[in-house]
Amino acid sequence: MCHQANMTIFDKITNSIKRLKKSQKLFQEKVLNNPKFKWYQRGVWLASLSWAAVLTVQSVPYYSAIGIGESAYKSGDYATAELKFKEALKESEKYSATDLRRAKVCNNLAELYRTTYKFEIAEPFYDRSVEIARKLGNNHPELPMSLNNLATLYRDEGRYEESERTFREALSIWDKRIKRDDSNRAAILNGTGKILRDQGKYSEAEKYYKEALTIKEKTLGPNDADNAVVLANLGGVYRDQGNYPQSESYYLRALRIDSAALGDNHPHTATDLNNLAGLYRDQNRLDEAASLYKQALEIRTRALGPTHPLTAKTLLGMAELASKKGDLNEAQRLLETAVAIQRKTLSPEHPELATTYNLMGNLFLAQHKDLDACKMQNMCVAIREKRLNPKHPDMGIALIDRARAEQSNRADSDRAESNYVSDLDRGMQILTDALGLDHPVTKRILAGIHLVRTKT
């Protein structure tokens, strides 16, 4: 009975296959072999090919402009890059509102303007790139990467809270939707680490940097130039925490990679030299620091120009070194050159300007120019109160340095004494909470306070 049932099922399957083959043969004879169908098929193919050709021809001006612009950007020819990106932007207006080509050219223009410190022009282009990416949905990598780039702009502008919030949104979308450990995720992790370090959250920043480095070394190999950026950032966060041997190790690794991959005269190599020079200055290895600063300045002046913000950064480091050597006139000359560059390229409330005002205030104090010292320290504190987390160690340093200037400039002794005590107490509390008593910066600042107090 069971055997009979199985035979019946088998017969049914066999008959179904026969009927299917018969239908296929009939379709072949009546349709596929029909001359009319063949001409229709060719027509569809030719129409498709023609439409593809039209789309390709229409895209040629866009891709040509984008390609030339990106090449010019990489070589530092920003004028040509801007011209070509604008041509590509005009071409992209022919495409749909959600076309990725629009997002790409908006992002390229934004990066160009951010790189050249034209932040107010860059932001609308970043916003447009994010807007297009949002229309595509959270499942596309374009959205988290667009947010990453916007967060970088916020960080460069000193808008730290907005920057951290935007970096975290980018990372959250990536981890929930994209779920890939690649160089893009590493870029978001690295950016998040930088904004955390800027706010004095060193342990958390270190964690993000290390995760980014692990991904980059796994996907790109241990000697790729992209790794040098994260290595340098790790060197910086260890330097901030007073771990100088670890910092030097990472800085040297970054320098070796950039020198081998990019050459000895590349701006990235100059950044590595500048980082090492700052570390050696902190360690009182002054001759080594001077030599490295000189190399970094030569490269940056030649590659970026004498009025670039990064050139100003090297001048600031050299000014600190000159001050440490006791050459106050040279320190003042370098600081004045640097601040003139920064005032032309940065917003009036940029954190980097606050750092320069702090350095100028300390220099004027050493020169016994007490009124000028107070003015500079007030400008520094005003910016940092607007831009930094109130618990950031730089906030503590600014308050302590202002207290030193106020104590020295006793035009109104009662008010000066009151301000001095208030700033000193707040600054010491912030600094010791953020860095601890054993940090080299804390020790240096406290030693300076002790000297001031013994004079009062």
Place of tokens 């004494």: 417
User: Residue 121 has which token pair?
Assistant: 């022009």
What single-letter DSSP state applies at residue 34? -
Amino acid 401 reads D
Q: Are 88 and 105 in contact, with CB atoms under 8 Å apart?
A: yes
For 11-65, write each residue's pLDDT tens digit: 544 555 455 455 555 545 554 455 444 444 444 434 444 434 444 545 688 999 9
pLDDT of residue 14: 52
Of 199, 128, 217, 208, which Cα lies nearest the Cα of 158?
199
pLDDT of residue 290: 98
User: Residue 449 has which token pair?
Assistant: 């306070």
Q: Are 399 and 381 in contact, with CB atoms under 8 Å apart?
A: yes
Amino acid 264 reads D
- The matching CATH number, chosen from 3.40.630.10, 2.60.120.620, 1.25.40.10, 3.30.160.270, for 263-345 is 1.25.40.10
User: How buried is residue 164: exposed, middle or buried, by Cβ count under 10 Å (0-12/13-18/19+)?
Assistant: buried
Determine the Cα–Cα distance for residues 152 and 163; give it in Å rounded to an integer.
7
DSSP-assigned letters across all residues of 158-192: T-HHHHHHHHHHHHHHIIIII---SHHHHHHHHHH
Phi, psi at 55, each rounded to 5°: -60, -40
Determine the Cα–Cα distance for residues 377 and 77; give it in Å rounded to an integer.
38
CA distances from 9 to 1, 14, 19, 327 (A): 13, 9, 16, 102
Residue 90: CB atoms within 10 A of its CB come to: 13
For 295-347, write each residue's pLDDT tens digit: 999 999 999 899 999 999 999 999 999 999 999 999 999 999 999 999 988 88
Element (DSSP H or E) covering residue 249 = helix 244-262
Which regions of the chain are under pLDDT 70? 1-59, 76, 410-417, 450-456
Determine the Cα–Cα distance for residues 104 and 78; give it in Å rounded to an integer.
17
Place of tokens 């129409």: 47
| Total residue length of the chain | 456
User: Residue 375 has which token pair?
Assistant: 């003015």
Q: Are 244 and 279 in contact, with CB atoms under 8 Å apart?
A: yes
User: How buried is residue 391: exposed, middle or buried, by Cβ count under 10 Å (0-12/13-18/19+)?
Assistant: middle
Determine the Cα–Cα distance for residues 311 and 352; give it in Å rounded to an integer.
13
pLDDT of residue 49: 44
Place of tokens 């035009």: 411
Determine the Cα–Cα distance for residues 102 and 81; give it in Å rounded to an integer.
16
Amino acid 38 reads K
Q: What percent of the chain has pLDDT over 70?
A: 83
Q: Are 226 and 216 in contact, with CB atoms under 8 Å apart?
A: yes
pLDDT of residue 298: 98
Of 117, 122, 154, which Cα lies nearest the Cα of 342?
117
Q: Rounded to 5 degrees, what angle do the CA atoms 240, 241, 247 make?
A: 70
pLDDT of residue 238: 96
Q: Are 398 and 376 in contact, with CB atoms under 8 Å apart?
A: no
Residues of the chain with CATH 1.25.40.10: 263-345
User: Residue 214 has which token pair?
Assistant: 């692990």
DSSP-assigned letters across all residues of 123-166: HHHHHHHHHHHHHH-TTSTHHHHHHHHHHHHHHHTT-HHHHHHH
Dihedral, CA of residue 45, residue 49, residue 52 and residue 54, to nearest 10: -130
Q: Are 273 and 299 in contact, with CB atoms under 8 Å apart?
A: yes
Of 183, 175, 278, 276, which Cα lies nearest the Cα of 225?
183
Amino acid 105 reads V
Residues 6+ apart with CB under 8 A from 4: none
For 190-337, list the strands marked E by DSSP: none
The number of angstroms, rounded, from the C-alpha of 376 to the middle of its chain's C-alpha atoms is 28
